[in-house]
Structure 1
Amino acid sequence: MRTIDSIAHLQREGELLADAAAEAGEHAPVPTCPGWSTGDLVRHTGTFHRWAARIVAERLPGPVPEDPMPEGPTGAALLPWFRDGHGGLVRTLRAAGHETDCWTFLPAPSPLAFWARRQAHETAVHRVDAESARGGKLTSLDPAFAADGIDELLTGFHARSGSRVRAEQPRALRVRPTDADAAWTVRLSAGAAPRTERSTDGPADCELTGPAQDLYLVLWNRLPLDAATLTGDAALAALWRETSAIS
């Protein structure tokens, strides 16, 4: 996905998040983030927006510790604070050149491409959280954007040694969206991080299929497994569910 498109998705998703949070109210519980209120969610996302904008704007080398989540703002100041930070991040990314050099923590064509992609998906997942607090139908995700988010999760986050997804015996989990030109085979073992191939070569022990949006949210544990069509070993999908949380 082009960087300019990632930034456009970031802008859209942040605006939708703020709108959903306004409808839900600051103290509404967030079903997809047990123990959090909508206010907690907004402060968390707004803090990460400011953190990312600072890294890009100041071209910081890394690693850069995450900014602490603020105790405030609350009440009437909360959403203006969020919108200000979100807008600042969008403006920072649009102003940054592709030669911008700063810290990243996943492979990417450039630091700018990384931060635009990462913050677009960070915001999209938390927009879904805000809409779950509000109730009602979730706003649809573009299939190509959702597929890009699946790719980031599988080939980025779960390629790191910190991924907790392990299998005692070698296993293969396939993910195949029905509305995007993409597919992944995730190979699990006991002693190493998952290894993801952007292909459907070879057999798979379990396959998840469905619209890219549903697979994206299933893999991020925002929808239940039965939101996808599962064939093969359901225990392997359950293993993913139990061990794949990103912290």
Structure 2
Amino acid sequence: MSTTGSGSGPDPVDHLAALRTEGDLLVAAVRGADLDATVPGLTWDVRTVAVHTGSVHRWATDLVRRRLPAPTGSSAAFTPADLPDDDLAAWLTDGLDALVTTLRDAPADLACFTFVDGIAPRTFWRRRQAHETAVHRADVEAAGGADVTPVPAAFAQDGLAELVGAFATEAAYAVDRRGLLALVPDDGPAWSVRFGDGPHRVTTGPAVDVNAADAVVRGSGSAVYLWAWNRPSPVEVTGDDAVLALWRRVRVT
């Protein structure tokens, strides 16, 4: 992770509370959804998103509960073979309840697998599952054609720190083409991503020079957060389309 500024600073987000809130919103959205509706920006329908999220919740619960040093399989191992549509919301709720309880009861010195260096496992999993749930909650809401419930500005910044400041800097996303992308929330610090010459280099806070960027994405923190997750979002996008396209290589679901 290569950052400058506040991306790795004190965490103002109560991830457990956010996970509970986002999970309850997800369940409510699934209850009222057409499960066959296509999710904008994905090839999945609502049913697939819901089952994926519930399976990830159970996978993470098992990993943390057993303090596994490495995953024993993927979340697909926790996907039910034949789940009636009428039972989907209750199944999601059961998995969410177990996840929240497991993460609440995990000790501060929890030792188990994570996939971002430098973050304590308990903090990592609380954070990761809060954002996993928030993004897929937005997916389900968007599939219904309704306005997507915005996330708070602090939560959006926390999600950008995870996605832009950590995941996007992985070597697998490196590209040869050079370019500078700026993400500019109107309610929090800006972020920049410099492409080319190895893994993406990320900067946040006052050091970001928006005027030097080849492409700029502006909007509320919530809108920029969803855009960064490659979801449809009401942001203002200006600049070089080719540089914007470089970001689309970052695919995390």
**What TM-score, normalized by structure 2, do the two folds share?**
0.87
Alignment of 1:133-148 (within 5 A): 133-148=143-158
Q: 3-state DSSP class of the match of 1:121?
A: helix
How big is each residue's C-alpha offset from its partner over 1:214-234, in whole Å with a ceiling of 9 and x where there is no partner?
10111111115xx32234323
Which residue is 2:5 aligned to? none
Q: 3-state DSSP class of the match of 1:185?
A: strand
How big is each residue's C-alpha offset from its partner over 1:83-140, in whole Å with a ceiling of 9 and x where there is no partner?
0001110111111121111110013431010001101000000001110122211112
- Matching residue's letter, 1:186: V
Q: Distance in 1 between matches of 2:47 and 2:122?
A: 29
Q: Distance in 2 between matches of 1:117 and 1:244?
A: 19
Q: Distance in 1 between matches of 2:127 and 2:198?
A: 26
Which residue is 1:197 aligned to? 203
Give the root-mean-square deviation of aligned CA atoms: 2.0
- Give the conservation status (yes or no) of the 8 Å contact 1:208–1:230: yes
- Matching residue's letter, 1:38: V
Alignment of 1:1-247 (within 5 A): 2=11, 5-34=14-43, 36-68=44-76, 69-163=79-173, 166-168=175-177, 170-180=178-188, 182-189=189-196, 191-199=197-205, 200-202=207-209, 203-224=212-233, 227-241=234-248, 243-246=249-252
Count the aligned residue pairs. Answer: 239
Q: Distance in 2 between matches of 1:94 and 1:25?
A: 33
Q: Distance in 2 between matches of 1:4 and 1:178?
A: 19
Q: Distance in 2 between matches of 1:160 and 1:8?
A: 29
Cα drift, residue 4 of structure 1 = 6.9
Q: 3-state DSSP class of the match of 2:164?
A: helix
How big is each residue's C-alpha offset from its partner over 1:45-97, in whole Å with a ceiling of 9 and x where there is no partner?
00000111111111110144313133331222221111000111011111112
- Over 3 Å counting, the alpha-carbon distance change for 1:32 and 1:17 in structure 2 is farther
- Give the conservation status (yes or no) of the 8 Å contact 2:181–2:193: yes
State, as a whole percentage, how many aligned pairs show the same letter: 38
- Matching residue's letter, 2:14: D
Q: Distance in 1 between matches of 2:42 and 2:84?
A: 19
How big is each residue's C-alpha offset from its partner over 1:126-174, in whole Å with a ceiling of 9 and x where there is no partner?
00111012221111210110111111111111111222x5242x32111
Q: Distance in 2 between matches of 1:211 and 1:4?
A: 17
Q: Distance in 1 between matches of 2:14 and 2:159?
A: 13
Cα drift, residue 2 of structure 1 = 4.3
Q: Distance in 2 between matches of 1:13 and 1:138?
A: 12
Q: 3-state DSSP class of the match of 1:176?
A: strand
- Over 3 Å counting, the alpha-carbon distance change for 1:201 and 1:39 in structure 2 is closer
Q: Distance in 1 between matches of 2:140 and 2:125?
A: 22
Q: 3-state DSSP class of the match of 1:24?
A: coil
- Over 3 Å counting, the alpha-carbon distance change for 1:218 and 1:58 in structure 2 is same
- Give the conservation status (yes or no) of the 8 Å contact 1:93–1:112: yes
- Give the conservation status (yes or no) of the 8 Å contact 1:173–1:236: yes
